[in-house]
Amino acid sequence: MREPLDVVWSRPLPEGAQPSTVTVSQDAAGRWFVSLLCDDAVTPAPATTAVGIDAGITSLVTLSTGEKITNPRHERRDRARLAKAQREVSRKEKGSANRARARLKAAKVYARITDRRRDHLHKLTTRLVRENQTVVIEDLTVRNMVKNGRLARAISDAAWRDMRTMLEYKCAWYGRELVIVDRWFPSSKLCGACGTIRTKLPLNVREWTCECGVVHDRDVNAAKNILAAGLAVSACGDGVRPQRESSRTGRSSMKQEPQRATAGLPRL
């Protein structure tokens, strides 16, 4: 067949761009992706500010500025649909055509969630990197947020991994510094005002008052502490056993991270 393909472009190619690499892939929902790698010079705008980012589940992320970024619209509803579709899969007989059909349907719902999430994350990370010279995040390779349910957690963990990857390459493009502070750093339990560390802070406690009298929004306090830790690391080179990501300036590519819409697909 030599018919033109019905393509949905995620964004226009830069003017005059000559793709050097073309990658074709297919996801579990049966969709085909073509990604084009092009060289494109990025001119970083000067920025002097720094931002700390706390990853959450109720909010997608909270910034040290106090801003809370919510999840994409419709995500809650789509999650409910996904849970239902996954139950359908488990009800069908193993190896049957019905099960394969149910599985594909669940994969499609999941792909929609991750697509929306990724689009949302692209806009957010581009904005954060454009606006700030230093971006500080926590290393959440392993974390313990069991109370929020397996599905919500799988999706938010996948989103966080995607966000970190985007921040890594976008910081490199724009000549920004990405500082990653150690995951054992007590970002939530540390009072940003007086330095006292609480022994306990259950996940359902969203706001707390320190002995020193300061009232904290849990996530904003965490984001501020992450920022402070990152700046300390950035200034003296160590402090909280960070993995420091140095950033590079210069030529960049338009490469998007590989389409992994279903890479983190929860058990079907």
Active site residue 54: yes
SS3 252: strand
Considering only residues 101 through 140, tell me which ones interact with Zn ion, judged by CB under 5 A. none
Active site residue 238: no
Min. distance of Cβ 14 from Zn ion in angstroms?
Answer: 50
Count of CB atoms situated within 10 Å of the CB of 219: 22
- Per the residue annotation, which of 27, 54, 75, 162 is the catalytic one? 54
**For helices 97-131 and 150-174, angle between their N-to-C axes, nearest 10 degrees:** 40
In the complex with Zn ion, which residue's Cβ is closer, 64 or 86?
64
Considering only residues 207 through 236, tell me which ones interact with Zn ion, judged by CB under 5 A. 210, 212
- As given in the structure block, the two tokens for residue 114 are 């991750």
In the complex with Zn ion, which residue's Cβ is closer, 81 or 198?
198
- Candidates 191, 222, 261, 265; binder of Zn ion (CB under 5 A) is 191
In the complex with Zn ion, which residue's Cβ is closer, 214 or 254?
214
- Candidates 38, 193, 201, 254; binder of Zn ion (CB under 5 A) is 193
Count of CB atoms situated within 10 Å of the CB of 29: 20
Considering only residues 48 through 77, tell me which ones interact with Zn ion, judged by CB under 5 A. none
Query: What is the distance between the alpha carbons of residues 9 and 244, in angstroms, rounded to a whole number?
Result: 35
- Per the residue annotation, which of 27, 75, 78, 138 is the catalytic one? 138
Min. distance of Cβ 201 from Zn ion in angstroms?
Answer: 13
Query: What is the distance between the alpha carbons of residues 171 and 137, in angstroms, rounded to a whole number?
Result: 12
Tell whether residue 201 is a contact of Zn ion (CB under 5 A): no
Q: Which residues of 88-106 are buried (b: 16+ CB within 10 A; e: fewer)?
A: bbeeeeeeeeebeebbebb
Active site residue 245: no
C-beta separation of 135 from 167 below 8 A: yes
Total residues in contact with Zn ion, by rule CB under 5 A: 6
Q: What residues act catalytically?
A: 54, 138, 219
For binding to Zn ion (CB under 5 A), which residues are involved? 191, 193-194, 196, 210, 212
